[in-house]
Structure 1
Amino acid sequence: MPPERKRMAGLREREVGELPPRHFANAIMASKGFVQSLSIQKRLWKHRGCINTISFNADGRLLLSGSDDRTVVMWNWVEEVPAFSFHTGHSNNVLHAQFMPFSDDRSIVTCAADGEVRHSQIGEGGRVTTDKLVELDFAFDLRGKDAVKLFKCKAADHFTADDIELFAIAIDPRKPCCFAVAGSDEYVRIYDARKICQDGNSSLGHPTEHFCPPHLIGENKDGITGLAYSQTSEILATYSHDNIYLFSREHGLHFNDIEVDERLLMDETGPLSFNRDKLPIPKAFKGHQNQRTIKGVNFLGPNCDYVTSGSDCGRIFIWRKKDGELIRVMNGDTDIVNCVEQHPSGIVVASSGIDNDVKIWEPGEGGNPSIAPVDKNLDIFGTYFFKVNEDMWLSSSSDSDGFIYNDDFDYVMELDDILYGNELGWVFRIGILVKAIIQ
């Protein structure tokens, strides 16, 4: 049955009570049509700097954002208004902000580029009290004021024994005692909180598993900037200067009888002590750029059906998880998209990046243009380009899906997917605007 007829059949079943609304919504969110129908419906304006972190509260009514302006904003995103905002006390850019569970959304933890973790408590009348919680390599019990040192994440190479700079952490939803960390080397490390020693000198901690694509093992290049767990404990890792990879249990190095130590990373008498070709290769998601900032990565869909990430080119990429096919590329920022977050239950996606606004994506016609306005300083350049290439634009045609075709010049470009911020991007952007005026 064609997808459109399936949707209509599902709609009929929902209306006559044969299909629960939640199941109907899940079916829609898992469909390719849902992904292709997303457009910017709302823009949330208040921050005065790049927005580095966004997260919904448990029921999705509120959205929390943190910025280079060192403030966090609690949004009523439906009404497009800030419900509450405050200065965090950080002396540098806020990189992550999160509601603490079971706190009635009044307890917020933030970390920033100043190396501090802060706990902010919103009291009656909007009064905010903020405590500094020591440094980033500790765990905290918010019921008290003392930090508990768990372990230092060390490089596996005993010749340097450097500490790993940690950029990402994620908790396994099926086993909350287990969590993954990643940072300045090539490994995703899995720890079990039940097995971490806290006895002074022996408190370094030992990962229960390591994950890494075979071709990157021992390379120690640019590290990992983001992690995400699926509902079935798969792990997404986005590598700087490389791709996004999906790891399952069978990709674990320990699972494949490889111990990550100095013999794996370096052998002075010969090559690495294992055969890369015999290791299973994780699924890769390709096309985005992750070099200039710390990007997150996420799943979309009720059953983690899709993978999504921002990119240095200012676009949001969405791949189908089961086969790695790139399904959609959307223009989401004038420079870089860092964060893409799905609503916990609704058909809503939020994104943020270098721009000062949070963008809310929902199905339907765009309530706000997803392509930024042309800079007036480039008007002369744009006019010149149009005069030189007038025949190209006049001979072009566009279809109902928003693609522009030109047989003479053999190109295809999707209107929502135009590169921004470089000369080529401006050329196509201005040309399309002129063509629209002529028509």
Structure 2
Amino acid sequence: MSETAKRFGSNFKGFHQPVVDFWRREVGAISSRNFSNRFSASENLVLRFEIYRKLEKHKGCVNTVSFNADGDVLISGSDDRRIVLWDWQLGKVKLLFHSGHGNNVFQAKFMPFSDDRTIVTCAADGMVRRASILEGGKVDTCFLGLHQGRAHKLCIEPGNPHIFYTCGEDGLVQRFDLRTEAPTELFTCQSAGRRGRNMEANQLNAIAIDPRNSNLFAVGGMDEYARLYDIRRVQADGLNGFSRVTHHFCPPHLIGNEQVGITGLAFSEQSELLVSYNDEFIYLFTPDMGLGSNPIPSSSVSKSSGSKSESASSPKDDSKHSVPLVYKGHKNSETVKGVNFFGPRSEYVVSGSDCGRIFIWRKKSGELIRVMEADRHVVNCIEPHPHSPVLASSGIESDIKVWTSTAKERATLPDNIELRKRTRRGWMYNISSPQELLAHLFSLQSRSSMSPEREGESSTATGRELLDLILTFNDQSDVENATEDEDEDEDGNSHEDFFS
């Protein structure tokens, strides 16, 4: 580096204006890679996000969106049980096919180093499937494994074209190797604390792998603890998953709170764990915040009243290092909502909300910097582009929004961030058949008449739940009865020369 570059680099140290960084790159004061990272993480770009395209082809809620490694193809899955591969820049469908699932598709991802020809999926029918894209755009799908109940999420071992993990409402965590015929059942996650007195399975909603150490993965579900496991310690030996947890993570004020659960997990590039709670907030844990292999007993901690904490950043009895950073402002009561990082070094935290908006916070400070109007209803998924300042979002609506930093003016936060009228979907309701509707009605009736906790409770609450279920089913019935598009061939595939 020249003396001039060094001198001016020192003078401009700490500045992040694009013009300054452009000049520093040209004179050799900043490397091209560092320039790209600084540019992609620029808050100026975040404040200029606007909708670039709306991708419309699905006939139901879009539950998953994900970019391929190159970032030129976006994959989506929906309640209509179809998978769509998009050229998102042109807004065109590259390939459309039926997933083979009998119920709502919850997750769909490309396997690494497969030339985007291998896709793995999981769904509300509990099945885990693989789709192989053949020459000419034909697709062959096959069954890989099964969960007893919905299979909400899967995660892929970074850089491995063969290994991925799944979790489901049966509490089971499975490891799949595409080179073998059957998955490995690792363990069944069990509830902790009072809810675990009968050692029942903990219904799992989320699973994520640490990008810096692929031996570590975390799961979260219907209790307050995010659990970190080391695959080297996990053996399929019939023992329960509770005894093999490396660490439990939970904000101090939520320990013992039986009203919360985890809907989303994500690891940062620094191995921090991001955890999103229903009816609560989002928290960021550093690796040293773990509570060990056995969580703090509920009896030793004053039980939470169930109300939201005024502030998670200044508890009375906890040291500074044990308290996670908190991100507030969004609403997470409806559906199973994800959470994610944005930026080449995970500089921002992003989440959807029940109000149909996208929320963006600075990771380091927890400060809310952007609220974007996205959908009329719930936004569930926010997916960052692998190497460009681009976001994809989806939710209860049947389209996908792609966001780029093209707005002429920098956005500002609204004076009052007020929630819109909530939808009628409960955060775990996803009724897809008359049989499932009847099962839920029977369950509600049984809880109302037999559960000691509901003795003396007015029947109006149960009535509202019944109405919500019926309306939810009616909203989805048109999706289940939808016919396939006319442009599909006899194999159920539709494409525009996918390999061109």
- When normalised by structure 2's length, the TM-score is 0.69
The residue aligned with 2:381 is: 339
Give the counterpart of 1:94 among 105, 114, 126.
105
Structure 1 residue 347: deviation in Å? 1.7
Residue 294 of structure 2 is matched in structure 1 by 259
8 A contact 2:44–2:410 mirrored in 1:
no
User: How far has the Cα of 1:201 moved from its partner?
Assistant: 5.1
Kindly report which structure 2 residues correspond to 1:299-310, keeping only aligned pairs within 5 A, or say none. 299-310=341-352
Change (3 A) 1:2 1:144: closer
In 2, Cα distance between equivalents of 1:112 and 1:149? 18
Per-residue CA shift, 1:366-400, capped at 9, x if unaligned?
8xxxxxxxxxxxxxxxxxxxxxxxxxxxxxxxxx7
Is residue 48–residue 411 contact of structure 2 (8 Å, CA) maintained in 1? Answer: no
CA contact (8 A) 2:51 2:404 kept: yes
* Kept after mapping to 2: 8 A contact 1:67/1:93: yes
Match status 1:291 vs 2:333: yes
Does structure 2 conserve the Cα–Cα contact (< 8 Å) formed by 1:196 and 1:205? Answer: no
Q: Which position in structure 1 is the counterpart of 2:219? A: 181
Identify if the C-alpha distance between structure 1 residues 5 and 250 changes in structure 2 by more than 3 Å, giving closer, same or farther: closer
Matched-pair contact (CA < 8 Å) for 2:370–2:411: no
- Aligned-residue Cα RMSD (Å) equals 2.8
What residue number does 1:48 align with?
Answer: 59
1:147 aligns with 2:168: no
Question: Quick one: distance in 1 between partners of 2:410 and 2:46?
Answer: 14
CA positional deviation for 1:287: 0.6
Specify which of 286, 307, 321 is matched with residue 248 of structure 1: 286
Matches within 5 A, 1:65-80: 65-80=76-91
Cα 1:5/1:182, change in 2 over 3 Å: closer
**Which stretch has the larger CA shift, 295-304 or 4-13?**
4-13
Is the 1:150–1:205 Cα contact (8 Å) retained in structure 2?
no
Residue 214 (structure 1) aligns with: 252
Alignment correspondent of 1:388: none
Q: Is the 8 A contact 1:109 1:117 kept in 2?
A: yes
Q: Is the 8 A contact 1:139 1:147 kept in 2?
A: yes
1:224 aligns with 2:262: yes
**Structure 1 length normalisation: TM-score?**
0.78
C-alpha spacing 1:350/1:108, structure 2 compared with 1 (3 Å): same
Which runs of 5 or more residues in structure 2 are unaligned? Answer: 1-11, 148-171, 304-314, 423-500
2:142 pairs with 131, 136, 139, which one? 131
Q: Which residue, 23, 26, 30 being the options, matches 2:41?
A: 30
Question: Could you tell me which amino acid in structure 1 is paired with residue 24 of structure 2?
Answer: E
Mapped to 1, the partners of 2:326 and 2:239 lie a distance apart of 39
Distance 2:265 2:241 in 1: 24
Amino acid at match of 2:85: M
* Counterpart Cα distance in 1 of 2:240 and 2:382: 38
Question: Match of 1:161?
Answer: 199
Decide whether the 8 Å contact of 2:65 with 2:77 is kept in 1: yes
Cα contact 1:66–1:97 (8 A) shared by 2:
yes
Partner amino acid, structure 2, of 1:265: S
- Quote the Cα distance in structure 1 between the aligned partners of 2:99 and 2:406: 36
Secondary structure at the aligned position of 1:150 is classed as strand
How many corresponding residue pairs? Answer: 372
Q: Helix, strand or coil for the counterpart of 1:344?
A: coil
Kept after mapping to 2: 8 A contact 1:150/1:204: no
- Residue 461 of structure 2 corresponds to none
Give, as a single letter, the amino acid of the residue that structure 2 aligns with 1:294. Answer: V
Offset at residue 3 of structure 1 (A): 9.7
- The separation in 2 between residues aligned to 1:3 and 1:175, in whole angstroms, is 31
**2:318 matches 1:278:** yes
* Further displaced range: 353-362 or 9-18: 9-18
Q: Does 1:355 align with 2:366?
A: no
Identity of aligned residues (%): 48
Query: Do 1:107 and 1:122's aligned partners in 2 also have CA atoms closer than 8 Å?
Result: yes
